[in-house]
């Protein structure tokens, strides 16, 4: 796991690349280098930061050059040994035992078609000295980030947007569509970048840039196509596929540990990993009791302890009591774009604790909810279809009563009321619209009322973009369609993004065995009832888990990887909300309208409605905007 950066056809390429490497130094504390190649046809500069995981010798440092090809590589190739053996049989001689060299030789042998053989997470750049072409590629599901800026006849690229901003900030401008998207989703879809001049290299694709300024791109892995083919092909052996993926993700020359929340997904990953590596250790988090009560949070730590005891492994418990006022600006900077999920703090603090203990690699259960129908929104949208068949008079009565109820009584949060109010916000809508509304911050009219009146077109564009992605498939059932949309929007835009940035800020690698092409295909080979059976979510995965886990873990209620957000917003951040959000640059410039924003904050504080996620997100957006402007990025 590493960080990459580079400049192609840029007169000041070495300087720009050096700045980008320095800005993301946290991604590779073990080694760093900048390599320049200048000739009459092209100027190519590649930068690399190394977190050494496979082949710890300096011979595997990047940028890695061999026989006319130079690679700057970020990621892990879990099947590199099998690919290496195949290449050796064709006559390739290897100088290291790294996966980096395997990627380079696979590209030499097979070109873009070789990407379909890779099992791993990656983003890389390869320069061919014979043609002076520069190739970029990214893994199928968007685990590893890759930002690209077209600049003159060439490009800049980096693992993190902040690196490009550090190099050429005054050339960049904030994208109004991104601000609206951040307010709507509380993250940015992978198709949108927060500055106009920079884009995210699409997952599952490659691009070759040529000295004459032209380029060629291709897609080697399309989730819509793969999911439709899997659905037609019959159910796979899910148990074997999941176990093989976890085993593959254990490939490492350093110790591997695991996140363990006590939920189904992390417990299953940990149990399978323990079967193959009995000495594995786990990390878990806990919160202050008062904060848990206000949030109405389940006691995940209790289940994590029981799971660790069941396996006989060592569990490191970390109590999360951060100074939120201090940590929020840091996390906003770490997340790179305006992402308002406070779970990033959990990941950051757990990774920092693991890193202090000498652990570089952690396994996570992320991705199972997206692929197997595990989020509450999936079940809620199915229940909404049934709710719509109830008499209209009864539905109106339920809505009137529910929306008058408070979400806090005394100092205890009322989770059922929060869920009911959220459900009623989308229960009357059609399938795609209900799904979008089930997880976004605002309805389109609410968002349009919060933003400057001229921003209506941006809101309309976001709604149309979601509809286009949601409907771009040949799947038969609503649960499969929701899961595919999540794998294309929610997973890369939010969960993979915050996990990568938070973990790499601690110089730690997080691996996600569920976010794997083979697991993806197995998930979409399932029928609707294999995902949600009655009200039982992730049904097929639970069936598989009985081979490894006790019933207490499998059958426990769903719990999210959350934080005591209401306590933080109402207590710790109250003054910051007043000073930074209500009197910030977004309000001063008219991007956010003061009156509706003030009403939203007042409703949250009174306990009439639960707008804590919206307040946190808008505060994060304001801080991100101020940081971008301070780095020279032009205003909207």
Q: Which residues are catalytic?
A: 2
Q: How far does CA 312 lie from the centroid of its chain?
A: 31
> What does residue 494 show for φ and ψ, rounded to 5 degrees?
-115, -70
* Alpha-carbon gap, residue 627 to 224, rounded angstroms: 37
SS3 625: helix
- Beta strand pairing call for 509-511 and 215-219: unpaired
Picking from 167, 162, 153, the residue whose alpha carbon sits closest to that of residue 194 is: 162
Other C-beta atoms lying within 10 Å of the C-beta of residue 228: 18
Residue 276 contacts residue 548 (beta carbons within 8 Å)? no
Place of tokens 């952690």: 362
Q: How far is residue 227 from each of residues 191, 231, 525, measured CA to CA in Å?
A: 20, 6, 8
Record the tokens describing residue 339, joined without a space.
């992402």
Cα 248–Cα 266–Cα 146 angle in degrees, nearest 5: 60
Q: In what order do the strands lie in the sheet with 509-511?
A: 315-320, 282-287, 256-259, 361-363, 509-511
| DSSP conformation class of 430 | -
Is 285 known as a binding-site position?
yes
Q: The dihedral of CA 180, 185, 188, 191: what is its sign?
A: negative
* Alpha-carbon gap, residue 118 to 77, rounded angstroms: 7
* Alpha-carbon gap, residue 417 to 64, rounded angstroms: 57
* Alpha-carbon gap, residue 145 to 190, rounded angstroms: 10
Place of tokens 């320069």: 127
> What does residue 379 show for φ and ψ, rounded to 5 degrees?
-70, -40
Is 99 known as a binding-site position?
yes
> What does residue 84 show for φ and ψ, rounded to 5 degrees?
-60, -45
Bridge partners (DSSP) listed for residue 316: 283
Other C-beta atoms lying within 10 Å of the C-beta of residue 252: 16
Picking from 405, 482, 492, the residue whose alpha carbon sits closest to that of residue 140 is: 492
**What radius of gyration do the chain's Cα atoms show?**
24
| DSSP helix, strand, coil percent of the chain (3-state; round to 5) | 50, 15, 30
* Alpha-carbon gap, residue 462 to 470, rounded angstroms: 12
Those residues with Cβ within 8 angstroms of residue 522's Cβ, 6 or more apart along the chain or in another chain: 230, 236, 237, 238, 241, 242
* Alpha-carbon gap, residue 403 to 422, rounded angstroms: 10
SS3 433: helix
Q: Which residues are annotated as a binding site for L-glutamine?
A: 99
Q: Which residues are annotated as a binding site?
A: 99, 285, 364-365
Q: Which residues are annotated as a binding site for ATP?
A: 285, 364-365
């Amino acid at each position: 796991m590493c960080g990459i950066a580079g400049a192609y056809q840029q007169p000041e390429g070495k300087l720009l690349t050096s700045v980008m490497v320095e800005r993301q130094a946290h991604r590779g504390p073990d080694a760093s280098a900048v390599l320049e190649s200048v000739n009459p046809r092209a100027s190519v500069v590649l930068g690399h930061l190394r977190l050494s995981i496979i082949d710890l010798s300096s011979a595997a440092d990047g940028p890695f050059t061999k026989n006319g090809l130079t690679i700057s590589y970020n990621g892990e190739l879990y099947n590199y040994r099998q690919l290496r053996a195949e290449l050796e049989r064709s006559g390739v001689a290897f100088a290291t035992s790294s996966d980096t060299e395997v990627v380079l030789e696979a590209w030499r042998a097979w070109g873009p078609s070789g990407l379909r053989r890779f099992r791993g997470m990656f983003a890389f750049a390869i320069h061919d000295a014979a043609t002076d072409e520069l190739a970029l590629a990214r893994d199928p599901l968007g685990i590893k980030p890759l930002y690209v800026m077209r600049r003159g006849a060439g490009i800049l690229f980096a693992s993190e947007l902040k690196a490009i901003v550090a190099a050429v900030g005054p050339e960049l401008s904030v994208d109004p569509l991104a601000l609206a998207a951040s307010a709507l989703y509380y993250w940015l879809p992978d198709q949108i970048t927060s500055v106009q001049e920079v884009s995210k290299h699409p997952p599952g694709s490659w691009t070759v840039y040529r000295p004459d300024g032209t380029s060629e791109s291709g897609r080697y892995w399309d989730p819509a196509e793969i999911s439709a083919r899997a659905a037609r092909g019959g159910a796979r052996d899910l148990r074997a596929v999941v176990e093989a993926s976890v085993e593959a993700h254990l490939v490492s020359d350093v110790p591997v540990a695991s996140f363990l929340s006590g939920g189904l997904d992390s417990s299953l990953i940990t149990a399978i990993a323990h079967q193959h590596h009995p000495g594995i250790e786990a990390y878990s988090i806990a919160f202050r009791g008062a904060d848990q009560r206000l949030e109405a949070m389940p006691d995940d730590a209790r289940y994590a302890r029981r799971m660790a005891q069941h396996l006989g492994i060592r569990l490191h418990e970390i109590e999360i009591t951060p100074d939120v006022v201090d940590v929020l600006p840091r996390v906003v900077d770490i997340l790179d774009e305006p992402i308002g999920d406070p779970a990033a703090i959990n990941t950051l603090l757990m990774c920092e604790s693991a890193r202090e203990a000498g652990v570089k690699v952690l396994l996570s259960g992320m991705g199972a909810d997206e692929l197997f129908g595990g989020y509450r929104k999936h079940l809620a949208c199915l229940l909404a279809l049934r709710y719509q068949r109830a008499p209209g008079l009864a539905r109106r009565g339920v809505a009137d009563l529910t929306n008058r109820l408070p979400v806090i009584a005394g100092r205890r949060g009322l989770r059922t009321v929060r869920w009911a109010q959220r459900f009623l916000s989308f229960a009357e809508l059609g399938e795609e619209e209900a799904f979008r509304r089930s997880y976004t911050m605002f309805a389109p009219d609410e968002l349009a009322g919060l933003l400057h009146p001229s921003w209506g077109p941006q809101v309309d564009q976001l709604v149309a973009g979601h509809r286009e992605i949601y409907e771009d498939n040949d799947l038969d059932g609503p649960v499969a369609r929701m899961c595919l949309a999540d794998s294309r929007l929610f997973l890369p835009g939010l969960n993979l993004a915050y996990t990568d940035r938070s973990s790499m800020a601690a110089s730690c690698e997080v691996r996600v065995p569920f976010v794997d092409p083979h697991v993806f295909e197995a998930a979409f080979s399932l029928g609707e009832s294999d995902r949600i059976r009655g009200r039982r979510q992730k049904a097929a995965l639970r069936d598989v888990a009985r081979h490894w886990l006790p019933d207490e873990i499998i059958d426990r209620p769903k719990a999210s990887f959350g934080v005591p957000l209401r306590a933080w917003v109402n207590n710790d951040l109250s003054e910051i909300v007043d000073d930074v959000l209500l009197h910030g640059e977004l309000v001063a410039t008219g991007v956010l309208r003061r009156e509706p924003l003030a009403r939203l904050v007042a409703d949250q504080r009174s306990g009439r409605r639960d707008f804590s996620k919206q307040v946190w997100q808008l505060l994060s957006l304001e801080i991100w905007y101020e940081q971008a402007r301070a780095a020279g990025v032009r205003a909207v």
